[in-house]
Amino acid sequence: MNSILSKSLRISRLNICSAPASGGKEVTLLCDKVTKHDIKVLFYQQDNDSTIIWKKQSSDVIEVFIELVRPSDGQSSEPRQFEIIPNHLTRNKR
């Protein structure tokens, strides 16, 4: 367990860079060794002052970041850009 906790977090691969706000699209995120009970995946948005903000609903595409966080030691990965696409803009309607 110590060797897992001593590794810095890193997102190795992200299979897609956008997803509809309604969900239903599987995102595959590959990373170095983590324990499933000690990892969180965060989606967040920042303003120009790097203050984290969030919009609950928008009619526009929202550019956000995705990041891994390990709660036990507060370690986090480098954030990656990700887009949340409003339902009315998605091509594949159910």
pLDDT reported for residue 17: 85
d(CA 27, CA 88): 20
Please tell me the class of the 2-87 domain.
mainly beta
Q: Which residues in the chain belong to E strands, given as ranges?
A: 11-14, 18-20, 29-31, 40-46, 52-53, 62-70, 75-76, 80-85
pLDDT tens digits, residue range 45-78?
A: 888 887 777 655 566 788 888 999 999 988 999 9
- pTM across the whole model: 0.63
Each domain of the chain, given as residue ranges in start order, spans: 2-87
Q: How does pLDDT run across 15-30, given as a tens digit for each residue? A: 988 888 778 888 888 8
Say what the alpha-carbon torsion angle 48, 17, 54, 21 is, to the nearest 10 degrees.
150
Compute the Cα dihedral for 61, 64, 66, 71 and give only its sign: negative
- Side chain identity at residue 52, one-letter code: I
